[in-house]
Chain A
């Protein structure tokens, strides 16, 4: 089991989400975050006060997946979030010690395998 953490551009977030759903990755959490990478600075002016914005808006995806889903998930994010410009973000893959599904108490792989209710017909 791994935790895939992806930091992407806000304007790419919808595309990433769509691509993940298409790849059957259905369990994820997103949050709005701010961070700094190597992107060119943004200068803003408010009534004579000029400031350099060191932190950029990003969207963070936290995706818990079973091992055979790690590679497809990462590839989908890489493809959907890329613009080719500095500031596209990062993907981190972290080891996970334990996963529990709160509703059922299921653990680990069972906890990150989607319940086959809606997607009953899918292979």
Chain B
């Protein structure tokens, strides 16, 4: 292992870390546009607050559980509270920068789960869930693949986190949607996106940030980063074209929500493969990935599963297709590490499948237990009356789009001075 810090690598990883951090506010816009206006702030806050809560948990314990030396299942506690995490080289960048870069992954992964529980999960239990989930589920799974755990030893390929991030989050999302239950209006009333331009903005910013996510996973300013970068441009383009044609063939119209979804599906699918496959393989992977997600979205809407923003269809299926196709399309000529099925190494596909199954099983069981444990302390779901009123007012005491007619200032001193109290009573029409 190289033990000197390389300036070009540091420069690129500083930028990449900032790019990945931007993906979480981008996700807030992507998800926020897809919900009804009365729940817009709550949905966006689910992502925004992950920046804080998961970020703190990462520094306190998460980084250590994922990357400190430990068993093949989970890291140790030697780097808790960032002890021993300084400016010494980890690869060719300071370990502190490596910690920050990986922290942005933990944040976005936890925030992804929120898409399945929007418009009904109470905010306090949500914060408790994503914070503990990042420690108990995300950190161990990251350790398996990137921290020297058992999947790393087996040679599972997951370049930037198709399994660790996307499948992991999607399984937690599925479990959360089932445990918490559906929205009261689900399948009874039309629930429509309130701001599709927000969703397109979010998709655009996600793509931008994803260059840091995938190309940054090379952990240096090198040719591997260039390969991952080009693949991150090509695969979503392929998915977008395939999705557009599917839309056109099915309804005769190309939808904007569909286009935004296609971009995310393509990005998810190329994530595990980004640094392992050639550019034309990435394009093919992107095109193929459109099909399962496209039809799963149509099917899910007719089921009783209220995975409200389709985390399972987009991230679960997209991530699974990407992880398996990495085992097919990986090429040593491009990555210098491993070949896939197409290049004469069918065993890789089996290893990929094992990685996938392990993550699905662990995330499924642990997410279920965690939600049930939190439910012992507090109700996970809002009551029907407040759900009807909207989560923005009931959870945050704010509205996204209020014109504030009839808003009356409450003064700190109003208890002592009679004048404002009298004014309130008159304007309110009460005696």
Contacts and interface: CB of A to CB of B under 8 A. Distances in A.
A22 interface: no
Given A34-B405, A54-B427, A44 B398 contact: yes
A44 B393 contact: yes
A36 B428 contact: yes
Interface stretch (B42-50, B172-180, B294-302, B406-414): B406-414
A52 B405 CA distance: 11
B397 interface: yes
Interface residues on B, range: 20 to 34
B399 A54 contact: no
A46 B388 contact: no
Contacts, number: 53
Contacts of A41: 428
B398 A46 contact: yes
A83 interface: yes
Contacts of A52: 407-408, 410, 424
A11 B397 contact: no
| Most A-side CB within 10 Å, residue of B390, B398, B402 | B402
B406 A45 contact: no
A33 B399 CA distance: 16
A11 B405 contact: no
Interface residues of A, number: 22
Nearest to A10: B38
Contact of B406 (A14, A15, A34): A34
A122 interface: no
Interface in A6-58: 9, 11-12, 14-15, 34, 36, 41-46, 49-55
22 contacts: A9-B388, A11-B388, A15-B189, A34-B406, A36-B428, A42-B393, A43-B410, A44-B397, A44-B402, A46-B398, A49-B409, A50-B409, A51-B404, A51-B407, A51-B409, A52-B424, A53-B404, A53-B406, A54-B406, A55-B405, A55-B406, A83-B388
Given A34-B405, A44-B393, 10 more contacts: A36-B429, A43-B410, A44-B399, A49-B409, A52-B408, A53-B404, A54-B406, A54-B427, A83-B388, A85-B385
